[in-house]
Amino acid sequence: MLRRLRVSLRQVVNQMARRPDVLCGAIVLSCLLILAIKLTCSRAKHVVAPARPPVRFFSHDAPVVDLFLGQLEQVERLRSLAEVSLIFLYAPWCAHSITAREEVQKVARRLSKEVQFIAVNCWWHHGKCRKQQNLYQYPVIHLFYRRFGPIEYKGPSTAAYLERFIRRVITPLTYLPSRAVLQDFLSSYEPGVIGYFEFNASPQPPGYMIFLTSALQALKRDYRGGVRFGVVTNKHVAEAISLQEDEAVYMHRHFNKSLIFPRAEQNFTSENICGWAYEHRETILRWLQPHGGKSRLMEQELGKGAALLFFLPFDPLAPSQPLVQQIADIALQYHTCNDSDWWESGHTSWDGLWQLSGRLAVAGTHCCNTVVLPCLDTVSHTRNVCELCLARSPPGQPGAARSPHCPFHRMKAALDSFYLKRSAFARLLARGTACSNVVHSYSPSSRFSACCKTVGPKVVSPPAPREPPPQASGAQAANITGLKCRTNKTLRFYLLDSHLHWTFAARLGARDNVRQAEFAAIVNLPDEVHYVLDHRESLKETLEQFIWNYSVPYSPLKRHLVGASVPKSPDSLIREVTTASFLSIVMDPEKDVLLFYYTHWCGFCSALNHIIIQIARLFQGNGKITVARVNAARNDLPWEFMVDHFPTLLFFPRERKHLSVKFPEDLRVTLPNLVRFVLRHSSLPQREGARTGLLEEELRRLQGEARLLQRAREQLSQQLALLGQEKRRLSLHAQTLETRNVELQQQGRRLEVLYQEKSQQLTDTVGKLQALAEASESLLAENTLLKVLLASVKEKAQPGPGAEQGFMGVRAEPDAENHGRS
């Protein structure tokens, strides 16, 4: 192999020696290649500018340790210096981090003596935070209580809410030294868990730290602190909640039986205590805090059923919240179902009902109606005539003569109860004529008395005349105690901070320019309706009345319609219809109205705008036809006037608004078709036939203009086609010229290289010629000297033979001398 390689190398060297121009070309190409690689590498270094080194993110006067180089390894050392630490992981470019920075600085200045504030730049690519933490959003706030953590805070980025959360972490347990403080703790609407620990035997009982950790586990699970934890150290105070043993955990519940943590069934660990508390807690009033980004929190909560949303200005750091407590009292009253617990327990004995009615009887007035129940015996067609009295009265023989008739909606609720309990009611009818009090769990009417008897098919008492359902009024009508268990229209109670979430209230119908006021609405998302509370008097009375009116079977509440603002120019070519102006414009009995339903996101609606404008101009002089449009996405309308797709055209003839006509879906929306549609269903009188003829003539003229425009369009399309062909030809010619230009540039570069080579060769030739000229000059000088010597020798050889011999001798000597030299 080595011999073959040597032979090949010798052959290459011999060829290059024979052709030196190839060798020179190879050397030149190698040098150019090295130069190009060097230039490319030097430019690549400057393609991406190096990132600027990070600077301090927080201000220098803020008590925050800013690790702007991402030194995550120093966090552990700094956390050990304080009992509670807050870690703020940020990105310098993040707008949310910049906004939260000011709030964190405010909190740090207030709590710097109790909490260690640490900020870490998790975006610097050389820092360990960027390499070790995989964060998908910024900022991230973690709190550590000694060695426990991290507890992530996901609440609003405001100083008040953040400080409230930090204080909950600093003091996760509420100390309850007396029975009065204990009673105040248990009276809150939030569920409470109380631990009893005796500190007499040891400085710190072993179960106390587990209970403390369970409170921190609850904050880690829910940053809002939905479950509060308290601690009792006095035995006398613990006896108030029936706690006798040390290290016992008690959970207070308002509506169900309170519980004690089952240490015999579960291990006494923080995870088990926290899970047990969240599993058995009662939630009657919940705070909603959408974080402002893409979240389905509102949809998930409202999708569970009807909800009462109350917006109020909330201060997280206030020592007391009277408005929140007032709403909580109403929610507790609504959920208190003590009066109906007996019926819900499953006792269906009528004797028990008699005892219950006697035990819970309350003196008061009542109303009675005679009704006919459905046939229970389909063979004999036996009917049951009952006198229903809606009252809190003991069983007896109520007389309709001395009792007023019941409103229709309350009687309907009582009848629904009999239909639901018809199998049990048959046992009462088997006795003949009897009376009983019935507890009804599905009606706001808490209980009613019934006196019934069985009659033949000929004896049929006519039903009582129906009366319109009046609105509930008075303290008795608006008594919502236990209403949750007496109606199937159950409500969920939610609170929202109006400072943060007023945009949701504005979408429900609140005024956008008033952000400090209260606003309440009942939202029924499955039914796509909501009702707005208009409270001008006492909040408690109006809110209870509002809940009661929603809960009755025939609710007097009206669906609230949210609409856009009324346009400033009502006399435009096309009338813009809103929720407020719908009845006045569309339902005007003196005008025919063509209504165009559209939305701002509908592309097909925009394509029909020019047709709507043309027909509006066509009927502009006619005072009997109005062309209007409504943005259905921003204006709620009554259900009977809503449409299921867009665009849609409806025509409302005058004096016959209930006979509205929809533009056929299978017909193309063009100006002629739309004009025929309007003229066919309009209410133009016979005397306006001339006007109709003019309209038809105008329509024919417009059709002629449309045909002319069509022909002009075809001609223009042909010209555009020719221009397109010419453009393509010119583009091909330009591509050809560009190709030739590139070839000429390449040839020019080759000629330039050849010119440089020839110039180099010419320079080398000139140098060689100069060397030859210098050599020739030296030869000429030597030749002249030789000629002079030869002439002198000849002169000496002319006198005689002796001289010639001498000359020969002289001449021979140099020859001999030259021979000797050679």
The larger pLDDT score, comparing residue 514 to residue 587, is at 587
Q: What one-character DSSP code corresponds to residue 440?
A: -
pLDDT of residue 256: 83
The CA distance from 473 to 26, in Å, is 108
pLDDT in tens, 681-691: 887 654 455 55
**Total count of residues recorded for the chain:** 822
pLDDT of residue 296: 79
The CA distance from 270 to 759, in Å, is 93
Q: Of 151, 132, 116, whose CA–CA distance to 70 is shortest?
A: 132
The CA distance from 185 to 203, in Å, is 25
Cα 366 off chain centre by: 52
Percent of the chain residues past pLDDT 90, beyond the cut: 28
Q: Crossing angle, helix 206-221 and helix 270-279, to 10 degrees? A: 50
* Helix locations, 112-205, DSSP H: 128-132, 159-170, 179-186
pLDDT in tens, 196-236: 998 875 667 888 999 999 999 999 998 888 899 999 998 89
The larger pLDDT score, comparing residue 292 to residue 221, is at 221
Average pLDDT over residues 556-583: 81
**Global confidence as pTM:** 0.62
Q: Of 166, 130, 147, whose CA–CA distance to 76 is shortest?
A: 147
pLDDT in tens, 355-377: 333 333 333 445 666 666 555 44
Q: What one-character DSSP code corresponds to residue 254?
A: S
Q: Does residue 106 surpass a pLDDT of 90?
A: yes
Provide φ and ψ at 285, rounded to 5°. -145, 120
β 625-631/575-577 pair status: parallel
The larger pLDDT score, comparing residue 733 to residue 515, is at 733
Concatenate the DSSP letters of all residues of 465-479 into one string: PP---PPP-HHHHT-
Which of these ranges, 382-396, 492-506, 716-730, has the smallest mean pLDDT?
Answer: 382-396
pLDDT of residue 407: 58
The larger pLDDT score, comparing residue 250 to residue 416, is at 250
pLDDT of residue 402: 42
Most confident of 95-99, 544-548, 555-559: 95-99
Q: Which two tokens stand for residue 671?
A: 């100006």
Average pLDDT over residues 36-51: 62
Q: What is the mean pLDDT of the chain?
A: 77
- Burial per residue of 525-542, b for 16 or more beta-carbon CB atoms within 10 angstroms, e otherwise: beeebbbbbebeeebeeb
CA neighbours closer than 13 Å in the CB half-sphere of residue 398: 29
* Helix locations, 634-688, DSSP H: 671-681
Average pLDDT over residues 90-101: 93
pLDDT in tens, 787-813: 888 888 888 887 655 444 444 444 444
pLDDT in tens, 126-151: 889 988 888 888 999 999 998 898 99
